[in-house]
Amino acid sequence: MHIPDGFLAAPVWGGLCAVSAPAVVLAARASRKSLDESQVPMMGVLGAFVFAAQMVNFPLGAGTSGHLLGGALLAATLGPAPAIIVMTAILALQSLVFQDGGLLALGANVFNMAVAGTLAGYWPWRALAGTRFRKFGLFTGGFCSVLVCAFLCLAELSVSGVRFGPTALGLALVVFLINAVIEGAITATVAGSLEAMRPGWLKAPSTEGRPVLALLLAFAAVLASAGLLLASTRPDGLERLAQLTGLAARQKSLFAAPLADYRLAVPGAAWVGKAAAGLTGLVLAAAACVGLARWFSRWRSA
């Protein structure tokens, strides 16, 4: 999933560089708060582990093999901000020393794997860490990190004009799904074994500062807007299916949803309207999550 130079259109790699750079700076600042200076070499050792582990082949049969990404594992072990830094370090080294992934495309690769993938891997773990479903949280984290990363990668290539035939796309999706399952399984088992060795090593996710939260929100916002933009440029898979099966004709609106067709009455270019709608939806969803979480924790501690 390391994109070389020459594939992405200038606005894509330029824009992603512009997004990744402040994200990484923010992550560095947040890391300073959560980790001690002397723990930096430790981050390096774990980073070396992930780098090496990424080279291990998980044979899937028919000559293909899966590989580890590692973002979710690092997030559970070090915390989200240090994990972002370590993953960025790995990607930078891969690009510079091994030419695996372009240097201009580093912004895109960092966004996909180090920022988005890691945060997507962190959220399920954070949500489930205090419950009985810790292992499941780890698995879901690993699973989501690969899927988010793959989705972003395909989206960026697609927007840059790389064409995927339906068979190629289908094959790629299957491979990504299998990789996602492998990632989830490895994250859960490896982090689990770490817990057994040294209980309390896994980062208790209750003590992050504001920078991390800001990072999480910013990431979600960008993802939502970008995802929406992309979804709007081609007929949605579901809609297509509905058209094909004639269900569309039988659809009736139950009530006039205020954000019907993902559009806010915003003056200006259509994409502004769509992005704004996405952001509004996100804010509402976030508020609902926060509300639910508060209620849930109050219920538990009662």
Q: Applying CB under 8 A, which residues contact another protein?
A: 2-7, 10, 13, 24-25, 28-29, 31-32, 37-49, 51-53, 55-59, 68, 73, 85-86, 88-90, 92-93, 95-100, 102-104, 162-163, 165, 168, 185-186, 189-190, 193-194, 197-198, 201
- For the CB of residue 71, give the shortest distance to another protein in the complex, in Å: 14
Going by C-alpha positions, the residue among 113, 38, 131, 129 that lies closest to residue 79 is 129
Sign, Cα dihedral of 160, 163, 166, 172? negative
Cα→Cα distances 34→26, 28, 70, 81, 137, Å: 13, 10, 20, 8, 22
Both tokens of 33, joined, read 């708060």
- For the CB of residue 159, give the shortest distance to another protein in the complex, in Å: 15
- For the CB of residue 280, give the shortest distance to another protein in the complex, in Å: 33
Rank residues 2 and 134 by Cβ distance to another protein and give the closer one. Answer: 2
Rank residues 219 and 224 by Cβ distance to another protein and give the closer one. Answer: 219
CB 142 within 8 A of CB 185: yes
Rank residues 45 and 254 by Cβ distance to another protein and give the closer one. Answer: 45
Going by C-alpha positions, the residue among 1, 88, 20, 17 that lies closest to residue 50 is 88
DSSP conformation class of 260: G
Query: How far apart, in whole angstroms, are the C-alpha atoms of residue 214 and residue 119?
Result: 12
- Number of helices and strands (H, E) in the chain? 12, 2
CB 71 within 8 A of CB 83: yes
CB 265 within 8 A of CB 280: no
- For the CB of residue 232, give the shortest distance to another protein in the complex, in Å: 25
Both tokens of 201, joined, read 């090593």
- For the CB of residue 259, give the shortest distance to another protein in the complex, in Å: 37
Going by C-alpha positions, the residue among 259, 226, 151, 139 that lies closest to residue 190 is 139
- For the CB of residue 127, give the shortest distance to another protein in the complex, in Å: 24
Rank residues 94 and 225 by Cβ distance to another protein and give the closer one. Answer: 94
Rank residues 127 and 177 by Cβ distance to another protein and give the closer one. Answer: 177
Rank residues 7 and 262 by Cβ distance to another protein and give the closer one. Answer: 7
- For the CB of residue 233, give the shortest distance to another protein in the complex, in Å: 20
Sign, Cα dihedral of 194, 199, 200, 204? positive
Rank residues 4 and 130 by Cβ distance to another protein and give the closer one. Answer: 4
Cα→Cα distances 229→2, 31, 151, Å: 23, 32, 13
